[in-house]
A = this chain, B = another copy of it.
Amino acid sequence: MARIVMKFGGTSMAGIERILHVAARVRREADAGNEVLVVVSAMAGETDRLVQLCREAAALHDPREYDVVVASGEQVTAGLLAMTLQNLGVQARSFMGWQLLQASGTHGNARVEAVESRLLDEALGSGTVAVIPGFQGVSPNGRIATLGRGGSDTSAVAIAAGVRADRCDIYTDVDGVYTTDPRVVPRARKLEQVTFEEMLELAGVGSKVLQVRSVGLAMREGLPLRVLSAFEDKPGTEIVERLDEGMERNAIAGIAADRNEARVTLTGIADRPGTVAAAINPLAEAGISVDMIVHAATPNRGASDLTFTVPRASLAQAVAALENWRGDIGYDGLLTDDQVAKVSIVGVGIRSNPQLAARMFDTLAERRINLQAVTASEIKVSALIAEDELELAVRVLHTAFGLDAPAGAAG
């Protein structure tokens, strides 16, 4: 017997027929003798509808009232799933977010502070499946607070941690975490296991399987996650602290691609302490996140170039800020390029094997793909390249790191 949290996303809850399918899946876990908690999203499209109503009501609206409106979608699916489970003979009841989950911080993007596990322990102790609306809790002053889009993943992980669940299963419309986007590389392979760190890097750069915050929370809590298909009955991907010993897996978990960046280069900045900070600070002030930062001063030249990337949607704003502060920063020229993309190799093996980065650069060089910038962290190496070379780069790296599925065995 295990205590498990099952989380179902919006497409799994979109309509009574799908909710019935979800209920059957939950029943199977309950019938196997497990203590089961289910966290649900709103029906697909419902949150968008509610957000649209808020926009029409007031262009600039009170986030506390926004939370009241948009939190209703998960309340509906929680009630519907509870009654559907009962109808299948499963003892079940819904709880509301305000009964269970204390949240704090910004309304509309709140953080989970604590889970009231007593009510849940009671229900589980009496053999009842607990159904919980995702995405929401209650603020210190008693108002409904939502956790931001995709927040149901975070709810599920927080509740799993709060009730000391053995694991948290995220049922979604993909069947696991892949070595790269299968739409780009048909021979992408589903990973049996991936570490939290790898998942964070893969999620952060575009594998939109799980909300990043939920992975970070699971990592801190040491709570194993699984990503599974809500529609098909096959093994998904385990997200774990460290890979099982004896697990045959490549040193590289996957190849991530990100088209969401734009490059900024400041030429002729002075080689003296503080110039990089002077360039980056105006962007931070404007709330623009800066990703890759490359600055290597050439000794004795006195001036050099600074290259970094910003979200493509913030490029115009970034340029305006940099021009505004030109006097303080001190640069000759400001070059930008929004036709760039970032390709990354991600894997815990990078830590112990510097050959992997070299293999990445060799592979790209063989295809004459020019590297505009390179950054590396413990488990990721990223290169900024021209956007029109991105798909080629992903494919050749996928092959070079031995990630291609055997022919005819994709997925």
Contacts and interface: CB of A to CB of B under 8 A. Distances in A.
A61 B76 contact: no
Interface stretch (A93-101, A275-283, A317-325, A390-398): A93-101
A86 B67 CA distance: 15
B78 A93 contact: no
Contacts of A87: 57-61
Interface stretch (A48-56, A193-201, A228-236): A48-56
Interface string A198-219: 0000000000000000000000
- Counting chain B CB atoms within 10 Å of each CB, the highest count among A69, A79, A86, A98 belongs to A79
A86 B68 contact: no
Nearest to A82: B65
A75 interface: yes
B80 A76 contact: no
Contacts of A71: 75
B61 A83 contact: yes
Oligomeric state, in copies: 2
Interface in A149-179: none
A84 B53 CA distance: 11
Contacts of A68: 75-76, 78-79, 82, 94, 96
A299 interface: no
A86 to B, nearest CB: 6
Contacts of A78: 68
B76 A64 contact: no
A72 B64 CA distance: 16
A94 B80 CA distance: 25
A71 B69 CA distance: 12
Nearest to A58: B87
A93 B65 contact: yes
A142 interface: yes
Contacts of A94: 65, 68
B96 A79 contact: no
Residue of A54, A80, A94 most packed against chain B (CB within 10 A) = A80
B58 A83 contact: yes
Contact of A76 (B16, B69, B82): B69
B16 A57 contact: yes
Interface string A35-54: 00000000000000010011
Q: Which 6 A-B pairs have the closest CB atoms?
A: A68-B79, A58-B87, A69-B79, A72-B72, A61-B83, A65-B83
Given A53-B80, A61-B83, A68-B75, 10 more contacts: A16-B53, A16-B56, A16-B57, A58-B86, A64-B93, A65-B86, A72-B73, A75-B75, A98-B98, A99-B142
Interface of A: 16, 19-20, 50, 53-54, 56-62, 64-69, 71-73, 75-76, 78-80, 82-84, 86-87, 93-94, 96, 98-99, 142, 144
6 contacts: A20-B57, A54-B83, A57-B80, A59-B87, A62-B86, A66-B83
